[in-house]
């Protein structure tokens, strides 16, 4: 059934090779027949080499319309910063006690934030948090003294981007049930951040291609000239 649905959507795309963002979002919304709320996904093929340290881009982008996903936040902090984390809505707050829980396999959270003075404790959890993409990182804003702001940003909806071994950045941005203009806002914010993250010294076209899709939908290539204008 899924194969037939996909084939029907592919036939509707026809010979179109590139889409404007507005038309691509409209197509995804108009042609979804799934019984669940699909995720809007984006794949950006970049002219970068992950093996080069100065080209291995990574960062965090706030989604203007949110992600439609409930986010559980864990925070490593003590004293006033721990109190600030709790007030901001963090579900788990602690120091060595939180580390003990994680070491015991209790990892019931989506994002981990830490104050700089707690990195000695957090560092010992690298083999557990690292492979899951949960290790706090200053570049992502998850190692900070402004704990309250970090927690609020995480809860409001942020999406991480990182280059994979094939030179592609892939991420799920929001739900297809969002209004079209909200989906467009999120995609623009994400792609705008990718464009701004362009390393110095990149030769040739930075953006090879940009494709958006829904969980069960076909991939639609966007006009890269439009993307560069975001």
CATH number at residue 81: 3.40.50.790
62 assigned to some structural domain: no
Q: Is residue 29 domain-shared with residue 96, that is, in the same domain?
A: no
Q: Which of 140, 156, 172 is the last residue of a domain?
A: 156
Q: How confident is the model at residue 33 (pLDDT cuts 50, 70, 90)?
A: confident
CA 151 – CA 158 distance, rounded (Å): 11
Which secondary structure element, helix H or strand E, spans residue 74, and what is its range? strand 73-76
* Residue bearing tokens 């959270």: 109
Long-range (24+ apart) CB contacts under 8 A made by 103-109 are 103/128, 107/132, 107/134, 108/72, 109/72, 109/73, 109/74, 109/134
Q: What is the CATH number of the domain that holds 28?
A: 3.30.190.20
Task: Please check the confidence at residue 34 and state whether its pLDDT lies above 90.
Answer: no
**Which three-class secondary structure state does DSSP give residue 58?**
strand
Q: Which of 135, 156, 177 is the last residue of a domain?
A: 156
Q: Which two tokens stand for residue 188?
A: 């623009």
- Mean pLDDT over 95-112 rounds to 95
CA 141 – CA 163 distance, rounded (Å): 18
Q: Is residue 46 domain-shared with residue 86, that is, in the same domain?
A: no
Q: Which residue has the higher pLDDT, 36 or 12?
A: 36
Nearest to 213 by CA among 61, 43, 30, 44: 43
109 assigned to some structural domain: yes
pLDDT of residue 219: 93
Nearest to 174 by CA among 209, 214, 210, 226: 214
CA 133 – CA 128 distance, rounded (Å): 9
Q: Which two tokens stand for residue 105?
A: 């396999």
Q: Is residue 42 domain-shared with residue 105, that is, in the same domain?
A: no
Q: Is residue 78 domain-shared with residue 97, that is, in the same domain?
A: yes
Q: Is residue 167 domain-shared with residue 53, that is, in the same domain?
A: yes
2 assigned to some structural domain: no
* Residue bearing tokens 């996903």: 69
Q: Is residue 127 domain-shared with residue 191, that is, in the same domain?
A: no
67 assigned to some structural domain: no
Q: Is residue 152 domain-shared with residue 214, that is, in the same domain?
A: no
5 assigned to some structural domain: no
pLDDT of residue 78: 96
Domain span including residue 98 = 73-156
pTM score, whole prediction: 0.82
Q: Which two tokens stand for residue 19?
A: 């889409």
Q: Which of 112, 139, 156 is the last residue of a domain?
A: 156
CA 62 – CA 174 distance, rounded (Å): 12
* Residue bearing tokens 């892939």: 170
Domains contained in the chain, number: 2
Q: How confident is the model at residue 174 (pLDDT cuts 50, 70, 90)?
A: very high
**Which three-class secondary structure state does DSSP give residue 224?**
helix
DSSP β-ladder status, 39-46 and 207-214? antiparallel
pLDDT of residue 212: 97
Q: Is residue 152 domain-shared with residue 169, that is, in the same domain?
A: no
């Amino acid at each position: 059934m899924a194969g037939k649905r996909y084939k029907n959507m592919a036939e509707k795309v026809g010979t179109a090779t590139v889409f404007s963002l507005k038309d691509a979002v409209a197509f995804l919304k108009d042609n979804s027949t799934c019984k669940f709320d699909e995720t809007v996904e984006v794949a950006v093929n970049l002219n970068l080499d992950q093996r080069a340290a100065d080209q291995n881009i990574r960062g965090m982008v706030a989604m203007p319309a949110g992600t439609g996903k409930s986010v559980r936040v864990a925070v490593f902090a003590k004293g006033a910063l721990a109190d600030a984390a709790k007030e901001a809505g963090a579900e788990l707050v602690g120091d060595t006690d939180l580390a003990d829980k994680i070491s015991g396999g209790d990892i019931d959270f989506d994002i981990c934030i830490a104050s700089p003075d707690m990195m000695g404790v957090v560092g010992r959890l690298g083999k557990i948090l690292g492979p899951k993409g949960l290790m706090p990182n200053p570049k992502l804003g998850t190692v900070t003294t402004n704990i309250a702001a970090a927690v609020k940003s995480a809860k409001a909806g942020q999406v991480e981007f990182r280059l994979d071994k094939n030179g592609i950045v892939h991420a799920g941005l929001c739900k297809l049930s969002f209004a079209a203009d909200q989906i467009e806002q999120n995609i623009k914010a994400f792609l705008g951040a990718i464009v701004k993250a362009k390393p110095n010294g990149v030769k040739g076209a930075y953006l090879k291609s940009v494709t958006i899709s829904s969980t069960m939908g076909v991939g639609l290539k966007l006009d890269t000239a439009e993307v560069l204008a975001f």
